[in-house]
Amino acid sequence: DLMVQLGAGESDLDLDSLTLKGVDLKMGAGKTTVDLTGDYAKGFDASIQGGVGEATVLLPSGVGVKAKAQGGLGKINAEGLERVGDSYVNDAYGESDVTLNVDVQGGVGEINLKVV
């Protein structure tokens, strides 16, 4: 499990090479990029709480992803994902043995979900 609490500024979290059981990220103010594009053998839950600014979450294409994103004040962009009910899923969702569940709660600013 990884727990990160950020203050103000710009941050890039490259988590794609880690073996993760869970991620809990609390953003402060600024711009944050979180890379979850690893080739995971097991699924996990990631919780990202936004502050003020822009949050970009990079998601894998070969592993199933189910993402929920709720913004406070700002826009939600979901590149490479399809809206299903109140969630966004990638093409591998339901097809792969592994699923990442990502919950993004935005504060003030933009949420970018990108499958790469």
30-61 confidence digits (pLDDT tens): 999 999 998 888 999 999 998 899 999 999 99
Sort strands 64-70 and 99-105 into parallel, antiparallel or unpaired.
parallel
Task: Provide the 10 A C-beta neighbour count for residue 55.
Answer: 27
Residue 87's SS3 state is strand
Q: Please check whether residue 59 is in contact with residue 103, taking contact to mean a CB–CB distance below 8 angstroms.
A: no
% of the chain surpassing 70 pLDDT: 100
Residue 72 reports pLDDT greater than 90: no
In residues, how long is the chain?
A: 116
Question: Measured between alpha carbons, how far is 49 from 26 in angstroms, rounded to an integer?
Answer: 5
Residue 71 reports pLDDT greater than 80: no
Taking each continuous run of H as one helix and of E as one strand, the counts in the chain are 0, 12
